A and B are shown apart, each in its own frame.
Chain A
Amino acid sequence: MQHTPRRTIASIGSVVVVALSLFLAACGGGGSGSSSGGVVNLTFWSFNQQITEQADKFNATHPNIHVTAIKQPSGFGQYYPKVLAAIKAGDAPDVALIEYQYVPTFVSKGALVDLTPYGANDVKSQFDPGAWALESINGAFYGYPQDTGPEGLFYNAAIFKKAGITSPPKTWDEYAADAKKIHALGKNVYISAFSATNTGWYQALNWQAGANWFSTNGNSWVIDVNSAKSQQVAAFWDNLISQGLVDTNSADGDFQPGWNNALDHGTIASWISAVWGQGVIKGNAADTKGQWAVAPLPQWTAGNKDTGAWGGSGISVITGTKHPKEAAEFAQWYLTNPDSLKIGVNEIGWYPSNLQARQTALTTPDPFFAGSQSGGQIVDQVFANENLLSGWAFPPDLDAVTNFQGNDFNTAITNHLSLASQLPAIQNQIINDLTSQGISATAGS
């Protein structure tokens, strides 16, 4: 059967006609709502699916404001480039989730609205002061804290037991000793992966050690990546890395398939991570249900409860909104209204920064984490008992810092150099980057 060109054209043509009519139909249906009858329309972006439920509740009780909540992609290189491009185009959402570490970066682009004039301080007492501090810069306040990410230690108690370890490490010295015992179980068994590219967890360890990398002194940033305390943290990991006691293979680094597999197979025995990490462990290591437990972060000084934070987000109002008052109202409602918080805690899984809501999160034991206690631990309680240190701040050029740190640490590991030897270079790169943008920055040490 020979097909003629005519018939080819005809059949392709009919496909196009069908597709075009579908297209036009779809276009007709997809129009965005216009403001009508004095209703203020707001757009809200976040990573979480359930935000539409929360917005529905807000809309039901606020007849004059209509919030459209849209879940955005959260992957690296997806969300923030998109938000910043939208701001540049004048197309930005009125309200958006911004993680704490990005707040100064966004402020330095003039992208966030100071919420102090909109009654932010009226609700200050409801929030975790550590989280509130991360949103407060130079007397202005840039977003209501949604959830906080204090770090702790998730560990597979069954493997720890097999290595002869009966209780989780309380100090970093114990952690190092345990690392040795666990590696003795097999040449592919490690206490942890050392993920050089994921910079956040490592910064939180410096936060815990009181090595505040970024701070301000009057009208200038003080960049202190090379301080004695920071060197101490680096030297600790250099020791483990040089003995081969942690898995430095990037393919086994946090969130990679090799890492998922290692957690599930018990060849990586623990993870230093934030409170939100519990969901990750449960998803990745489903086969080891019941073996896991959570402990406070190991300490530099025995008996302390200090920790730093990895991640955590706030809800900010974006510059350029036509309705800053209503946007601020929604942001405040979103993190103070009990119904909204309930969805956040129960469905999204926040470890909320709103203190009252946090109490409700501290009630149920999780049978997945039954490694140290039959019936399971109340995971959030372990984190709630920690002391999130104050004094840490994030830099106004976070992505550059991430780039410098990730790249220099990677280079060090590839070339068998110490992390400690990279710190002066990282510090200089950050200072140069800031000064090249016309921002004052000096070296801390």
Chain B
Amino acid sequence: MATKTELVAASPPAGVVTSRAAKPRPRISLSFSWLWPYLFLLPFLIVFVAFFVAPFAYTVIQSFYAEKHFGGLGLTPPKVVWVGFDNYKQALSNPDLWDGFKRVILFGLIQIPIMMGLALVFALLMDSAVTRFRRFFRLSAFIPYAVPGVVAAILWGFFYTPTISPIAQIFRSLNLNPPDFLGASTVLASIGNISTWEFMGYNMLIFFAAMQAIPQELYESARIDGLTEVGIARYIKVPMISPALRLGLLFSLIGTLQLFNEPEVLKGLTGAITPTFTPNIYAYNIGIIQNNYYLGGAIAAIMGVITFVFSFAFMRLTQRAS
């Protein structure tokens, strides 16, 4: 196989490795190799500092200031003044912010397991059970992720609007009352549907890629030991891809706490999505729409802290479990 020769060309044959490894390694290469990991990380760190650390630091600094007028009609340029923790106090004392957090946490508790479960089953089936049209399935899972946001807005507007929804049409033709996708009690589920549709395939690809890296020998020995396919999935594949699972879960958790696009897409269609529906929508409405970078920065920082707490707890929990 061509790949094997590539490998051989890139590194010495096994026998040579052992024979050379027996010799003492040249000291010099070890002594300057401490620099390499930093060199490898340097490009990332440069970009990271420029486009994350610096803007975030700026946001945090801003969050301690506010634009103030000093009486009158406020028709002269405002002054930017230091206000200490006032913005934080204002944000934290707004019950809507906490309602928003509760809402996204409830959302995550239901949506993440459903989406991840589907993605995992999909990946497992693709990896073992179904071989025909595998590429087609993989492609179709990926496509929703590739649909741009502006289209998602039009598209879901079309599917959820009672008068034009093809789903509602089907219900009506069966003489049934079509479901209200946009009611106060159903809108969260409708948002969950969009998220699941959009990101299930994304997670599936991550899991599938991780499964592909599992060495075949493991399966063969498992079969010899009499394990069924389900057993292999349960005892080999899932544990072997647990780092990818954890990563997928972690990023879904973060994405849920920052829930923004999907509700924003539906905002115009329903009064149920308020300007404080999720913490991120709240931050956007204050910081961007109302042009209050200062209070918006405070909300963003609060979100960062809360997301950190959840992520940290998640990592700790799953670390202990594995």
Contacts and interface: CB of A to CB of B under 8 A. Distances in A.
Interface of A: 2, 4-6, 77, 80-81, 84, 88, 104, 107-110, 137-138, 140, 188, 196-197, 216, 219-221, 249-253, 255-258, 261-262, 267, 319, 396-397, 399-400, 403, 406-407, 410-411, 413-414, 434, 436-440
Contacts of A249: 162
A197 B75 CA distance: 27
Contact of B162 (A196, A258, A406): A258
A9 to B, nearest CB: 11
B268 A250 contact: yes
Given A2-B2, A84-B291, A399-B290, A257 B75 contact: no
B274 interface: yes
Interface in B150-174: 154, 157-158, 160-164
A385 to B, nearest CB: 33
Contacts of B76: 110
Nearest to B86: A436
The 9 A-B pairs at the shortest CB distance, nearest first, are namely A110-B77, A410-B271, A439-B74, A438-B69, A258-B161, A438-B68, A251-B161, A251-B269, A108-B74
Nearest to A255: B268
A4 B270 CA distance: 52
Nearest to B160: A251
Given A251-B161, A438-B70, 11 more contacts: A4-B6, A108-B69, A108-B78, A109-B67, A138-B75, A220-B73, A252-B161, A252-B163, A255-B268, A437-B69, A439-B73
A108 B70 CA distance: 12
B297 to A, nearest CB: 13
B71 interface: yes
Contacts of B293: 88
A396 B75 contact: yes
A2 B7 CA distance: 14
Contacts of B290: 397, 399-400, 403
A411 B69 CA distance: 31
Contact of A414 (B67, B271, B285): B271
B248 interface: no
Contacts of A439: 69, 71-74
Given A434-B74, A439-B72, A250 B291 contact: no
B184 interface: yes
Contacts of A253: 268
A396 B73 CA distance: 8
Contact of A109 (B77, B268, B272): B77
Interface string B124-147: 000000000000000000000000
A197 B271 contact: yes
B1 interface: yes
Contacts of B289: 77, 81, 399, 403
A307 B70 CA distance: 36
A108 B268 contact: no
A436 B75 CA distance: 15
Contacts of B157: 251, 256-258
A414 B272 contact: yes
Contacts of B270: 250-251
Interface in B78-107: 78, 90
B164 A261 contact: yes
B214 to A, nearest CB: 19
Contact of B74 (A188, A319, A437): A437
Given A81-B291, A399-B290, A407 B163 contact: no
B3 A5 contact: yes
A438 B75 CA distance: 11
B178 interface: no
Interface string B1-42: 111001000000000000000000000000000000000000
A328 B196 CA distance: 52
A2 B1 contact: yes
Contacts of B291: 80-81, 84, 109, 399
A2 B6 CA distance: 12
A251 B182 CA distance: 8
A437 B71 CA distance: 9
Given A110-B77, A138-B73, A396-B74, A413 B288 contact: no
A251 B6 CA distance: 59
A168 B214 CA distance: 74
B81 to A, nearest CB: 9
Interface string B293-322: 100000000000000000000000000000
B243 interface: no
Given A110-B78, A257-B164, A396-B74, A403 B271 contact: no
B112 to A, nearest CB: 27
Contacts of B6: 4-6
Contacts of A255: 268
A259 B78 CA distance: 41
Nearest to A397: B290
Contacts of A256: 157, 161, 268-269
Nearest to B68: A438
A269 to B, nearest CB: 15
Nearest to A198: B268
B2 A411 contact: no
A40 to B, nearest CB: 25
A92 to B, nearest CB: 14
A438 B271 CA distance: 31
Q: Looking at A77, A257, A440, which has the most chain B CB atoms within 10 Å of its CB?
A: A257
A80 B288 CA distance: 9
21 contacts: A81-B289, A104-B75, A108-B69, A138-B73, A140-B75, A219-B72, A219-B73, A249-B162, A257-B154, A257-B164, A396-B73, A396-B75, A397-B290, A399-B291, A400-B290, A406-B275, A407-B274, A410-B272, A410-B274, A438-B70, A438-B74
Nearest to B9: A6
A438 B74 CA distance: 8
A250 B74 contact: no
A77 B163 CA distance: 27
Residue from A88, A104, A251 with most neighbouring chain B CB atoms (10 Å): A251
A4 B74 CA distance: 68
Interface in B245-275: 268-272, 274-275
A440 B67 CA distance: 15
B71 A438 contact: yes
A107 B69 CA distance: 12
Contacts of A250: 182, 268-271
A221 B77 contact: no
B268 A197 contact: yes
Contacts of A107: 75
B158 A257 contact: yes
A429 to B, nearest CB: 12
Given A196-B271, A396-B73, A410-B274, A109 B163 contact: no
